[in-house]
């Protein structure tokens, strides 16, 4: 397994085409807007070599008969799902941001089970996965298409979806874009998957395949984040880590046959999309509580510096923040504990609880951020730059404005997570990552057995006999 330093070095071997602020980036690894996100992924490597976390961060792969980083691992034991959530909580707390490796992990598990009943596709996929595990590579799980007019199907606006434009004996040519691509510029491979279930006639969009991140015709464009020009400076907020989203453009990219796992197989793609949604919606019950630990810690720190930590309303608000955080985490763990085994051998999360988990994530962190803003006071939004605080001409006058070093930096961290660069991989990702709120409601409406609830209500209302309990006396 790679170390953190080996991971960062390995990225330099790529000929990645990355655009940042209108310019082609000569060295993505060293760019100040890219590097914090690389550090967040590097943490996933560091944990695998740290005795405190090695057991959580690694697993034994039957595929290559060797230990692997958990982010390359298949969920072959029920405990793998639970350990995933626990690991994500640890990493979310250690980095305070998105560490970008879970889409790939959840995607490769979804693809493993979706190809299982197709022996040739499954063999191609597992051969590729074995290579990924041996190299301990990072995957960019590429699902979300630009989608254009949401009222129109992909076949009515093909340019808004990634699609196969040519099929050859030796492979396929794909064209289009994937958006909101978490960690794409820090990955070794792109794992292309459809972003939604597709209908007959939409086979060209039903493509799942893998390609190198620097394949010919792949271009990446870094997403902007609020205050991203602060990266690397005194006002960054999160001093070490950051998240990353890119647009990935596929300009007639050739994918050889051995890297094409699904092509036009609507049923397998539907299974893939649904399985992925379950895995990834539970994942948010790990990483986001970890991020919230940091947010709560920063808010708590400010109240200590303000001398109000013991005030009853402050204690009550902090307890509320922790209560809401553990509510998210509890459902993520429960979804993973209440798992079921797919015929492929992969363990799947409980779909209702996984969707409840992610649905909570679209709401509760907003209340927690509101409470953090309440506790922090207006200074989290109005503080001048720390460069001015440290300027000899202003230092004396500004000293009481900034207060302690802890206060100033905790406020900057809160600011970043609430609406600065850190809010992209935290707040807005809480809303839309792994599917927007309505996607969870649609699944919940479908998955919940409404008739069963009505049947029991009818019994207890005295409308129907009690077949479940019979006569009790």
Interface residues with Fe ion (CB under 5 A) are 182, 433
Structure tokens given for 354: 């996984």
Instruction: Name the residue nearer to ligand SF4 (CB basis): 154 or 286.
Output: 286
Burial of 457 (C-beta count, 10 Å sphere; 0-12/13-18/19+)? exposed
| 103 scored as a contact of ligand SF4 (CB under 6 A) | yes
**Helix then strand then coil, % of the chain, to nearest 5:** 55, 15, 30
Whole-number minimum distance, CB 413 to ligand SF4, in Å? 18
- Looking at 25, 209, 269, 287, which residue is catalytic? 287
| 241 scored as a contact of ligand SF4 (CB under 6 A) | no
Instruction: Show contacts with ligand SF4 in window 275-294 (CB under 6 A).
Output: 283-284, 287
Task: Check if the beta carbon of residue 418 is closer than 8 Å to that of residue 369.
Answer: yes
Instruction: Show contacts with ligand SF4 in window 179-208 (CB under 6 A).
Output: 182
Instruction: Name the residue nearer to ligand SF4 (CB basis): 183 or 351.
Output: 183
In sequence order, the 6+-apart residues with CB closer than 8 A to the CB of 68 are 1, 58, 59, 60, 61, 133, 136
Question: Is 58 considered catalytic here?
Answer: no
Candidates 4-12, 97-105, 156-164, 186-194; binding stretch for ligand SF4 (CB under 6 A): 97-105
Please choose which of Fe ion, ligand SF4, none residue 154 contacts, taking the beta carbon within 5 to 8 angstroms, the exact cut-off set by kind: none
Instruction: Name the residue nearer to Fe ion (CB basis): 69 or 182.
Output: 182
- Looking at 25, 72, 98, 246, which residue is catalytic? 98
Question: Is 269 considered catalytic here?
Answer: no
Residue 349 gets which letter from DSSP?
-
Nearest to 276 by CA among 79, 44, 112: 112
Question: Is 98 considered catalytic here?
Answer: yes
Number of residues that bind ligand SF4 (CB under 6 A): 11
Residue 209: strand pairing partners: 192, 260
- Looking at 31, 280, 329, 359, which residue is catalytic? 280
CB atoms within 10 A of CB 223: 20
Cα dihedral 150, 99, 229, 29, rounded to 10, equals: -110
Question: What is the Cα–Cα distance from 473 to 468, expressed in whole angstroms?
Answer: 14
Binding residues for ligand SF4 (CB under 6 A): 98-100, 102-103, 182, 283-284, 287, 429, 433
Q: Which residues are catalytic?
A: 98, 102, 182, 245, 280, 284, 287, 429
């Amino acid at each position: 397994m790679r170390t953190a330093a080996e991971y960062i070095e390995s990225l330099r071997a790529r000929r990645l085409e990355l655009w940042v602020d209108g310019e082609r980036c000569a060295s993505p690894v060293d760019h100040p807007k890219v590097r914090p996100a690389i550090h967040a992924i590097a943490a996933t490597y560091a944990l695998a070599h740290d005795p405190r976390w090695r057991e959580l961060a690694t697993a034994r792969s039957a595929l290559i008969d060797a230990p692997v980083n958990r982010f390359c691992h298949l969920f072959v034991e029920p405990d793998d799902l639970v350990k995933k959530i626990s690991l994500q909580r640890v990493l979310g707390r250690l980095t305070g941001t998105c560490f970008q490796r879970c889409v790939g992990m959840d995607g490769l598990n979804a693809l493993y089970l979706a190809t299982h009943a197709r022996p040739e596709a499954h063999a191609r996929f597992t051969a590729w996965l074995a290579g990924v595990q041996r190299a301990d590579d990072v995957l960019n799980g590429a699902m979300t298409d630009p989608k254009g007019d949401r009222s129109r199907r992909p076949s009515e606006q093909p340019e808004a979806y990634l699609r196969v434009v040519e099929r050859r004996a030796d492979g396929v040519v794909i064209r289009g874009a994937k958006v909101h691509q978490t960690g794409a510029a820090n990955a070794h491979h792109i794992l292309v998957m459809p972003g939604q279930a597709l209908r007959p006639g939409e086979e060209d969009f039903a493509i799942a395949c893998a390609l190198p991140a620097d394949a010919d015709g792949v271009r990446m464009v870094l997403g902007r984040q609020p205050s991203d020009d602060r990266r690397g400076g005194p006002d960054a907020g999160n001093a070490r880590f950051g998240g990353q989203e890119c647009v990935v453009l596929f300009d007639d990219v050739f994918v050889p046959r051995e890297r094409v796992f699904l092509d036009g197989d609507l049923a397998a793609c539907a299974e893939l999309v649904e399985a992925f949604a379950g895995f990834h919606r539970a994942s948010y019950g790990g990483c986001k509580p970890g991020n919230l630990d940091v947010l709560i810690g920063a808010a708590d720190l400010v109240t200590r510096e303000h001398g109000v930590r013991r005030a009853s309303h402050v204690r009550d608000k902090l307890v509320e923040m922790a209560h809401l955080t553990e509510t998210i985490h509890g459902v993520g763990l429960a979804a993973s504990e209440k798992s079921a085994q797919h015929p492929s051998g992969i363990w799947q999360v409980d779909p209702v609880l996984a969707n409840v988990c992610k649905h909570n994530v679209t709401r509760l962190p907003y209340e927690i951020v509101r409470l953090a803003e309440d506790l922090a006071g207006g200074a989290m939004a109005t503080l001048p730059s720390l460069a001015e605080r440290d300027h000899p001409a202003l230092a004396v006058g500004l000293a009481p404005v900034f207060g302690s070093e802890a206060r100033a930096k905790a406020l900057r961290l809160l600011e970043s997570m609430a609406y600065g660069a850190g809010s992209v991989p935290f707040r807005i990702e809480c809303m839309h990552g792994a599917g927007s709120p309505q996607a969870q409601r649609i699944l919940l409406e479908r998955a919940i057995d409404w008739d069963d609830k009505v049947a029991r209500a009818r019994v207890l209302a005295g409308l129907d006999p009690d077949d479940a309990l019979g006569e009790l006396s």
